[in-house]
Amino acid sequence: MKNNIKQEIEDYIALEKKVKIFINKTEIISLYCTPSMIKELTIGLLLTEGIIKDTACNFEITISNDDIFVYLNSKDFEPVDLHHIRHLCGFTISKEKAFNKIKDDFSIPFLKLKELFEEFQNRCELFRLTGCFHSSAIADKSRVVEFAEDIGRHNSVDKVIGSCLLKNESLNDKMIFVSCRLSSEILFKCATWSIPLIASISAPTASAVDIAEKTGITLIGFFRNDKANIYTNNHRVI
């Protein structure tokens, strides 16, 4: 409908699938996601949430239709309270826990940070086509190294983290860019891997600012054009 006139047109619509994740044939998680980078999503989710205990664990992943099967030694698996399981566009059971405060010498010039964030935004093609996607990226000081889009904001973060972990790439010398609001759950994911800087086009919550301050993360919101709000640990942006 435009100018009170009905028109029939073709449009892009986001794909959405419900997938189930099994560990040693026991279903532990069911979630809705965009059907891409499923292996990366699975590893990012399970390791970040502590369901798989360590990146050094030996595991095997098999994908069959909409089911993801993860096989590993039972000693490397942290049992999950099934009351936490939710059928959502994204999943987290992260809760406040003790994190070591990030201590590093990471810094980046604002103009370079702006350049990398603009590169991230330019890649958000599915959002431009549908208006229905969240985007996340991992960047080092020179380039965007991982990028993902998903209907779920937690999913897009888990995908880029999982992609780095599968390639044995470090995260404690990287930045993460997101298109979503900066919530406590997103900050917990960053703190788990000691990611020193997170930036978003959107706003943070008060809890996210508090977590960033306590864990030593540089938290940047409202990153638009030549302006950005640096809420915590501004020494990293020079």
Is 16 within 8 Å of 33 (Cβ atoms)?
A: yes
Is 192 within 8 Å of 99 (Cβ atoms)?
A: yes
DSSP state of 23: E
Q: How far apart are CA 156 and CA 146, in angstroms?
A: 11
Residue owning tokens 């190294």: 145
What does 59-92 look like in DSSP terms, one character per residue?
EEEEEETTEEEEEE-GGGB----GGG---SSS--
Is 178 within 8 Å of 190 (Cβ atoms)?
A: no
Residue 57 is among the residues annotated as catalytic for this protein: no
Q: How far apart are CA 24 and CA 36, in angstroms?
A: 23
Is 162 within 8 Å of 43 (Cβ atoms)?
A: yes
- Options 33, 57, 89, 132, the catalytic residue: 89
Alpha-carbon separation of residue 36 from 16, 81, 103, 120, 143 (angstroms): 10, 27, 35, 18, 22
Catalytic residues: 89
